Chains A and B, each alone.
Chain A
Amino acid sequence: MSDTVTTPPRRKHYLNVDYGIKSWLLTQDHKRIAILYLISITFFFIIGGVMAALIRVELATPLGDLVEADTYNRLFTAHGVLMVFLFLIPSIPAVLGNFLIPLMIGAKDLAFPKLNLGSWYVYNLGALLMVAALLRGGTDTGWTFYTPYSSTFADSEVILTALGAFVVGFSSIMTGLNFIVTIHRMRAPGLTWFRLPLFVWAHYGTSLIQVLGTPVVAIAILLVAAERLLHIGIFDPALGGDPVLFQHLFWFYSHPAVYIMILPSMGVISELIAAFSRKRIFGYKFVAFSSLAIAVLGFLVWGHHLFVSSQSIYAGLIFSVLSMLVAVPSAVKVFNWTATLYQGSISWQTPMIYALGFIGLFVIGGLTGTMLATLGIDMHVHDTYFVVAHFHYIMVGGAIMGYLGGLHFWWPKITGRMYSVFWSKIAAGLIFVGFNLTFFPQFLLGYMGMPRRYHAYPEEFQILNVLSSAGATILGLGYLLPLIYLFWSMRYGERAGDNPWGAYGLEWETSSPPPTLNFDEPPVVTTEAYDYLSLREKKLA
């Protein structure tokens, strides 16, 4: 960490190897593609965030007095569509996974570098379609596109938005496919499956879902477009279709999609907890297999979105019990992380604050999820703010906390620079407090009975809504700070060493930022994952 002064000949790394715009747009380097993704998803996170802000301002008063009802509906639809398809799903896999998986397994790149670059272009093509839909007035179906509203009744840009989601889905499949092949074929000598970092295991599970689930939502979306254009009767009962069929097809993907968002985040958390406890993750194999268990069981629980949709009582019973099962591997992860802290050497660095915050929020999100899986509770809180709060705890509290924690952890590796420790801790604190203030009141609102997607609401719900909007302000500030200090650090930040945290892992053995082909010499692995004993001995030797 003190060798910042003595670097007279400029070392070539992936960032300074070439500067032209073409060297970025045509790059096949997984690290550069990760940066391209980082820029894209940050852009859409900001737009989606601005829409959330407008929604929260609108909901500060019970009367819908800021924007028209129709505008409000288009806002929450755009917020959902952008955040889910253009930010959350690609976030950790396409940025951190892309950057880190080859480094973590000691490979020069992903298995298919051109496919990787192609996935970014496909992503942007889909994004462009969605932006075009927005510029033409947006869509008002909600991100769930429920039929027959979306297929027959909605008078907005449904097809363009749906097509965008369809196209973006392919980028997700490409990334997943690339990861699966890479993890199977390109591990460094000695890096057996059970020596893999848990981040890689989590991405393996995620990739399976991406490859197997995404085609189904693509089909569902295409059928909606076909019904709108050609009036074939698939979902609209007036044409002989079945509206609930769409919900089955949609959730068959979209429920596993939640695990596309949360599993990579769990992978990040495993890395952070190991690194900042300087200890092997307790129950490594259980944590690894729990990722696969979640990926597989995740495909069998979609019907819990249909408990009050006229689905038969027996289907409800089966989906309810399966949903309870999927909670067990999640609980196993939480207990193992907690046990890892025991007798660890715990450092309160910024990424660790995110990791500990993640555990808290994920526990709340997970427990409320099992409440929703309970039939007798769901029929009351289904489609209320209770659900909104629950999935924000998972997708924002869980996925984004993991994403930000990971970004702060690997930032010195990605950029070679360190950010302001002070400001990053302030931001982490603001995000944790702001998040809870925004979304905790929504649990109460939901149980009180406030339905989701309401532009106006009865007066007695106002105070909790005001609290939520106030929390959103703090949360927004918390998100703004990293944008500033991370940017700032790229130019002015202190140079980070190769391994600023003293963490175990192949990515920390190469230089920061890494060279284009990642390692000067191909690494050979001789130790188990998170073997801090050997790391210390190596340092002493």
Chain B
Amino acid sequence: MWKNVPLFPEQASTLASEVDALYLTFLGISIFFGLLVAGLVIFFAIRYRRRAEDEIGRPEKAGIWLEITWSVIPLAILLGMFAWGAKVYIGAFRPPSDAVEYFVTAKQWMWKFQHPQGNREINELHVPVGQAIRLTMTSEDVIHSFFVPAFRVKADVLPGRYTTLWFEATKIGTYHLFCAEYCGVEHSKMGGSITVMEPADYEMWLAGRDTGPSVVASGQKLFRVKACSTCHRPDSATLAPILHGLFGEEVELEDGSTQIVDENYLRESIMNPIAKLVRGYKPLMPTYQGQITEEEVLQLIGYIKSLASDATENQGPESDSSSPASTPDEG
């Protein structure tokens, strides 16, 4: 009966064994203290059971050292577990630099994925084994949560902003994908699967389907169609900041504060351009809220990021414009 009922989830990512080691250690400590207390309670309750109707317990003075001991020991253990847990957590939320970026758009009640090569999937995601994969995720409606138990990863997926998560699959197979944040009627159906493949198989799988244009190519097309390129020119920063080399850099805003150009800032600047205007620019840009889908925003961002990594590929030569924070007038 128990053969098909595993009591422990599969370990299919680099993170899984780390989380399990932490968990099992903590479980061991817990069992030790649990049994200690239970054992003492049962032993005392029997050993000192009342033997005469008018018997009373023997009063004793509280020992301050005893109190300190049983405060400090748990505290020390808990702080140790905190530190270990923090280490695992920080690792889980800081993707390695060579991670490949996939886009995830959640909506009631489905998951939409786009591979960097352009391939789109719904409720299923195919990934190569042994490759760090970074998910940039957003929601079109309510809060969802991306959860793959076999990878031990989970992150909420929010409307109006991006959250990220990364994993590196270590084992070929197909694993459950769940939505872990309650999101309405079909919450429990908002699942799917992650299929981990050999890199060669993954390439074949990609090739065997109509991949469509890559994320960067789609973004580049949008950049033109939505007339972004009218003002965001590679050779002139008069009307709008030059976007080449901008991603990951710091810009100065109107109020003198600074802002790192990340996915969330780019998204905000597309949807609500005047919210955080770069210093020296007039609020000329119209809002794209409602005129562009979340997936298109992601493609645009993908394109803008590609400008950072390779300025010449998409827009012709302008080698001098990729200096950081290339705003026109500083002062």
Shortest CB-to-CB span from A315 to chain B, Å, is 12
CB atoms of A310 and B156 under 8 A apart: yes
Q: Is A50 an interface residue (CB 8 A)?
A: no
Name the contact of A146 in the complex, choosing from B143, B149, B153 (C-beta under 8 A).
Answer: B143
Q: CA–CA, A316 to B189, complex, Å? A: 30
CB atoms of B143 and A148 under 8 A apart: yes
Q: CA–CA, A338 to B87, complex, Å? A: 34
Contacts of B189 in A (CB 8 A): 69, 456
Mask of B267-279 contacts with A, CB within 8 angstroms, 1/0 = 0000000000000
Q: A278-B57, A308-B154, A346-B50 are in contact. Are A376 and B182 (CB under 8 A)?
A: no
Best-surrounded residue of B18, B53, B149, B156 (most CB of chain A within 10 A)? B156
CB atoms of A238 and B19 under 8 A apart: no
Contacts of B163 in A (CB 8 A): 310
CB atoms of B188 and A379 under 8 A apart: no
Report B239-260 residues with CB < 8 Å from chain A CB.
Answer: none
Q: Is A149 an interface residue (CB 8 A)?
A: yes
Q: CA–CA, A237 to B23, complex, Å? A: 36
Q: CA–CA, A75 to B122, complex, Å? A: 30
Contacts of A327 in B (CB 8 A): 74, 78
From A2-10, A172-180, A356-364, give the one contacting chain B: A356-364
Contacts of B22 in A (CB 8 A): 374, 376-377
Report B152-183 residues with CB < 8 Å from chain A CB.
Answer: 152-156, 158-161, 163, 176, 178-183
Contacts of B183 in A (CB 8 A): 149
Q: Is B141 an interface residue (CB 8 A)?
A: yes
Contacts of B155 in A (CB 8 A): 308, 310, 379
Q: Is A348 an interface residue (CB 8 A)?
A: yes
Name the contact of B85 in the complex, choosing from A284, A377, A539 (C-beta under 8 A).
Answer: A377
Name the contact of B8 in the complex, choosing from A325, A363, A448 (C-beta under 8 A).
Answer: A448
Mask of B61-88 contacts with A, CB within 8 angstroms, 1/0 = 0100011001100110011011011111
User: Using a Cβ–Cβ cut-off of 8 Å, how many residues does chain B contribute to the interface with A?
Assistant: 86
Contacts of A348 in B (CB 8 A): 45, 49
Shortest CB-to-CB span from B306 to chain A, Å, is 25
Q: Is B142 an interface residue (CB 8 A)?
A: yes
Q: CA–CA, A533 to B60, complex, Å? A: 12
CB atoms of A380 and B57 under 8 A apart: no
Name the contact of A449 in the complex, choosing from B49, B149, B158 (C-beta under 8 A).
Answer: B149
Report A359-417 residues with CB < 8 Å from chain B CB.
Answer: 359-360, 363-364, 367-368, 370-371, 373-380, 382-384
Q: CA–CA, A40 to B112, complex, Å? A: 48
CB atoms of A341 and B79 under 8 A apart: no
Q: Is A447 an interface residue (CB 8 A)?
A: yes
CB atoms of B59 and A533 under 8 A apart: yes
Shortest CB-to-CB span from B158 to chain A, Å, is 6
CB atoms of B147 and A451 under 8 A apart: yes
CB atoms of B48 and A331 under 8 A apart: no
Q: A327-B78, A371-B23 are in contact. Are A376 and B160 (CB under 8 A)?
A: no
Report A122-145 residues with CB < 8 Å from chain B CB.
Answer: 140-142, 144
Shortest CB-to-CB span from B56 to chain A, Å, is 4
CB atoms of B149 and A448 under 8 A apart: yes
Q: CA–CA, A456 to B182, complex, Å? A: 13
CB atoms of A383 and B180 under 8 A apart: yes
Q: Is B9 an interface residue (CB 8 A)?
A: yes
Q: A364-B34, A376-B19, A379-B153 are in contact. Are A331 and B74 (CB under 8 A)?
A: yes
Q: Is A70 an interface residue (CB 8 A)?
A: yes
CB atoms of A448 and B156 under 8 A apart: no
CB atoms of B62 and A238 under 8 A apart: no
Q: Is B292 an interface residue (CB 8 A)?
A: no
Contacts of B38 in A (CB 8 A): 359-360, 363
Name the contact of A460 in the complex, choosing from B6, B33, B49, B142 (C-beta under 8 A).
Answer: B6
Q: Which B residues are within 8 Å of any A CB, using their own CB?
A: 1-2, 4-9, 18-19, 22-23, 26-27, 30, 33-34, 37-38, 40-41, 44-45, 48-51, 53-60, 62, 66-67, 70-71, 74-75, 78-79, 81-82, 84-90, 92-93, 108, 141-143, 145, 147, 149-150, 152-156, 158-161, 163, 176, 178-189
Q: Which A residues are within 8 Å of any B CB, using their own CB?
A: 64, 69-70, 73, 140-142, 144, 146, 148-149, 152-154, 236-238, 242-244, 277-280, 282-286, 307-310, 313, 316-317, 320-321, 324-325, 327-328, 331-332, 334-336, 338-348, 356, 359-360, 363-364, 367-368, 370-371, 373-380, 382-384, 444, 447-449, 451-458, 460, 463-464, 502, 532-533, 535-536, 539
User: What are the 5 A-B residue pairs with the smallest beta carbon separation, nearest first?
Assistant: A449-B149, A237-B160, A279-B57, A376-B88, A375-B89
